[in-house]
Chains A and B, each alone.
Chain A
Amino acid sequence: MQEPKKSSGCRQSRFAPGEASCQGSKTGAERCVAARRCLRFETGFLSRKKPADWVRFALVWGAGLITAAVLLYLIVFILIKGIPHIKPSLFAVTDPDKISLFPPLVTTVVMVGLTLLIAVPFGVFTAIYMAEYAPRGGKPARAVRMTAETLSGIPSIVFGLFGYIFFAGVMGWGKSVMTGCFTLAIMSLPLIMRTTEESLKAIPDAFREGSFGLGAGRMRTVFRVILPSATPGIFAGVILAVGRIVGETAALIFTIGDVFKLPDGLFSAGRTLAMHVLKLSGQGFNRNEAYATAVVLLALVIGINALSSRVERRFLKKLM
């Protein structure tokens, strides 16, 4: 049997050599296998004919690999530099040297909880209005959509400035956890809104029609039928928002202050984990602790992201 010649046979032209090289097979089954192997050559990656195609192929694969490599390098770099320096003392409850990550971690958890408490009801209710009450979009709906898009494009430093002027200044809350939470709540509002709206829209209309057909009103349909089935999707969006809140620095630096302590009330200043990394990395003599804290932050964010996509995948699978 004649093996199909890889370089000369198949690549020259599309059909003739392929047929020629496959003809030596004895039985029909063998011929079939050989033909399929030839075909794989034709469509596979050795069959690219023109140099221009080679260039395009190389560019596209190169770009994909660069993207993956950059991310891998970043994560591995931080992990390798940081993991050896994770010590129990890093988690000390009190630390006169202001290096322990315990107080910032607690502050971060408190901030996340309070921010969600403000942002989730507004975000979800807005999404319900947009998806269930004004799906075709009247003037108010269009205004809401436009402003939400604007909000999602505003950089966090501008939110920080606004929080500093409005919540800390005009409302008189000073640099405090409260000010920080409200600032972050406005910031994460568009994200929660958009993901909730998407998961509400993913619920098939049959659910709504069935509920209406049984005599339920709009409100009962929303609370008893739509929301329960959309909860995992909403949850995935909320987790994503948690990730953003955990990583935020620019919006917080003049809204919660940058004070190393456990917050002792809503109007107490504090520092979150991300701000702690920023502070430590700025001090040359605490590099190792900065790496270790960065590892904790990175692990937190990766975990949150993985959880979010897992929940989302389950939600979509259940709807199918």
Chain B
Amino acid sequence: MRIGRERAMRFVFFTAALTSVLAVALICVFLFASGVPAMAEIGFLDFLLGTDWSPADAEPSFGILPMILGSLYITAGAVLLGVPIGILTAVFMARMCPKPLYRFLKPAVNLMAGIPSVIYGFFGMMVLVPLIYDTFGKTFRLPGGDSMLAASALLAIMILPTVISIAETNLRSVPQELYEGAVALGASHERAVFKVVLPAARSGVMAAVVLGIGRAIGETMAVKMVAGNQTVLRAPYEFLRGARTMTTNIVIEMGYVEQGSLHNGALIATGVVLFVFILLINSLFSVLNSGKERRGRKKPAAEGAVV
């Protein structure tokens, strides 16, 4: 009786645990099943490398290259602006911050992660966009401040908490002996942190950056509110002009398309491409993370062998 109950409960827990497996399986199956046929109908290369997105024309054309590039440019900009600040803030929090300040900064970073993306988007719309228009508008004769730069700057702010908290955890997990050894050899505190601790946490910090990239490429609403959303093929130096990302392409047009139409399928296919990007980024993240563990364990033995 008791053993039976134990077994039953174990089975219940096990089944519950399988829901996440089931969820991922369902997401993959249904996303691919609804997106890939549309992709095939348009033609894979025409879809991925086509530069013209005009779904409402009599002769509709579905090329998402502008959106893929838009996503990549805006994400790259966000990484360029946000990652240095994020990593340095993580160093600050892990190694240099006075305790009273830390007690304020840590909850602040947690709060930043919790602020909804509409609020960030609204802030970007009311502050960053006018700022960019006032600064560059006249000189470059811009139609408005909605631009890739605005989106990148906003995303840079939004990925900060992700980058900071993961990088900080990894910086803290560097053995204290490394730091102490460096100081004992005469390095100053800053030198020890930058030349010994930071390199030792390298793969963890890289993992933080990769996760930040994942966040940036998947962000939707905030980007939609500041990026301008033109479906024009842009070059990287046109960062003061607007662009559309894969995520915003879906969210802008999904509202009014007819279910089952080719346009609908093309939007879901955009989601599939985005999903593939995310899966690649995620697997890069887990490779970096597991690499750190492996190296951490083997290091002493390997060093012994070399010496």
Q: Among the interface residues A59, A258, A306, which one has the most CB atoms of the partner chain B within 10 A?
A: A59
Report how far A53 CA is from B183 CA in the complex, Å. Answer: 14
- Is the CB–CB distance between A68 and B20 below 8 Å? no
Are A157 and B271 within 8 A (Cβ)? yes
Inside 8 A of B294's CB, which chain A residues have their CB? none
Give, as a whole number of angstroms, the nearest-CB distance from B23 to chain A.
5
Residue from the list A128, A159, A277, A305 in contact with B111, Cβ < 8 A = A305
B30 to A149, Cβ gap below 8 A? no
Q: Which of B6, B31, B126, B254 contacts A158 (CB 8 A)?
A: B31
Residue B31 contacts which of A59, A132, A162 (CB distance < 8 angstroms)?
A162
Contacts of A147 in B (CB 8 A): 20-21, 23-24
For B19, give the chain A residue with the smallest CB separation.
Answer: A122
Contact yes or no, A50 B116, CB < 8 A:
no
Contacts of A243 in B (CB 8 A): 114
How distant is A148 from chain B, measured CB to nearest CB, in Å? 5
Tell me how far the C-beta of A143 lies from the nearest C-beta in chain B, rounded to whole angstroms: 6
Partner of A52, one of B191, B251, B278: B191
- Looking at the assembled complex, report how far the CB atom of B73 sits from the nearest CB atom of chain A, in whole angstroms: 18
Is B242 an interface position by the 8 A CB rule? no
The stretch among B136-144, B211-219, B232-240, B298-306 that forms the contact with chain A is: B211-219
Known: A157-B218, A243-B114, A253-B251. A129 touches B16 (CB 8 A): yes
Interface residue range, chain A: 35 or more
Contact A301 B14 (CB under 8 A): no
Assess whether B119 is interfacial by the CB under 8 Å rule. yes
A64 touching B93 in the complex, CB below 8 Å, given contacts A157-B274, A217-B2: yes
Pair count A-B, CB < 8 A? 259
Binds B, one of A18-26, A69-77, A95-103, A202-210: A69-77
Among residues 146 to 178 in chain A, which have CB atoms less than 8 Å away from a CB atom of chain B? Answer: 146-151, 153-162, 164-166, 169-170
Write the B131-166 contact mask toward A (1 if CB under 8 angstroms, else 0): 000000000000000000000000001001000100
Q: Does A211 contact B (CB under 8 A)?
A: no
B185 at the interface (CB under 8 A from A): no
Known: A63-B88, A189-B23. A250 touches B119 (CB 8 A): no
A70 CB, min distance to chain B CBs, angstroms: 6
Give chain B nearest CB distance to A50 CB in angstroms.
7
Residues of A within 8 A of B121 (CB): 278, 281
A164 to B268, CA, bound (A): 10
How far, in angstroms, from A143 to B27 measured CA to CA in the complex? 16
Segment at the B interface, from A32-40, A83-91, A290-298: A290-298
Known contacts A250-B251, A281-B122; can you find 18 more A-B pairs with CB under 8 A?
A: A49-B188, A56-B194, A63-B88, A64-B101, A71-B108, A122-B19, A125-B17, A126-B19, A128-B13, A155-B220, A161-B268, A243-B114, A244-B114, A248-B116, A250-B117, A253-B251, A290-B122, A297-B116
Q: Which residues of B are in contact with A by a Cβ distance under 8 Å? A: 2, 5-6, 9-10, 12-14, 16-21, 23-24, 26-27, 30-31, 34, 84-89, 91-93, 96-97, 101, 104-105, 107-112, 114-123, 125-127, 157, 160, 164, 188-191, 193-194, 211, 214-215, 217-221, 225, 247, 250-251, 254-255, 259, 268, 271, 274-275, 278-279, 281-282, 285-286
Binding site for B on A (CB under 8 A): 48-50, 52-53, 56-57, 59-64, 66-68, 70-71, 74, 77-78, 81, 121-122, 125-126, 128-130, 132-133, 140-141, 143-144, 146-151, 153-162, 164-166, 169-170, 186, 189-190, 193, 217-219, 222, 240, 243-244, 246-250, 253-254, 258, 274-275, 277-278, 281-282, 290, 294, 297-298, 301-302, 304-306, 309
